[in-house]
Amino acid sequence: MLVGGGDWVSAIVDGIYAEHGNTAGSFKHLARDRLLVGGGADARSLLGAKGINNFVGCLRKVEFVAGMLKMELIEAARSGAAGAAAWGKMDFHCREPKASDPITFTTRDSHLSDQISFVIQGHSFRYASYIPSIEDHHTLDA
C-alpha cells in the first residue's frame, strides 16, 4: 500500500514490510505518470534506485491508496485493467514454501536461532593474560 500526505509517504508490502520517508515540502498528489512495483525494465536507471536490482519473490497484495482512490495493483495487472500492465515473466500466484526454500528477512531485527546450547571457552597461554569464557544460548521459535 502506498499512502502519504503532507510531507510523508509510506510504502507497505503485504502488511509486513514498510518503508517510510519524508519529502522536502508538502504535497497533495504524486506527479508521476507511472508507479513501478518490483523494479523496471532498467532498474539501475530508476531515480532513487541506488543500485537496487528488480524484486525476485512473491508479493501477495499491493495496494495504491490516494485519497478516495484505492487500487489493488496485482489484481489490476492480472485482469488487464486500464492503466495497469505487467512486464516480464510472472505467475499470478504465490507457491507455498518448501522446507528447503530460502527465507527472506523483512526487518532489521529479524533473525533465526536454534535450540542448541553450547559453551565456547578460550584461554590465553600468555603470562598474566586471560580470555574469559563465553556462554551463548540460542532458541528456535518455531
Kindly report, residue by residue over 56-84, the tens digit of the pLDDT. 777 777 777 666 667 788 888 888 887 77
Joined together, the cell numbers standing for residue 30 give 504524486
Q: Is 0.75 topped by the overall pTM?
A: no
pLDDT at 119 over 50: no
With vertex at residue 107, the alpha carbon angle to CA 103 and CA 108, rounded to the nearest 5 degrees, is 110
> What pLDDT does 117 receive?
47
Cβ atoms of 53 and 45 within 8 Å: the answer is no
Q: 64-68, 92-96, 97-101, 124-128: lowest mean pLDDT where?
A: 124-128
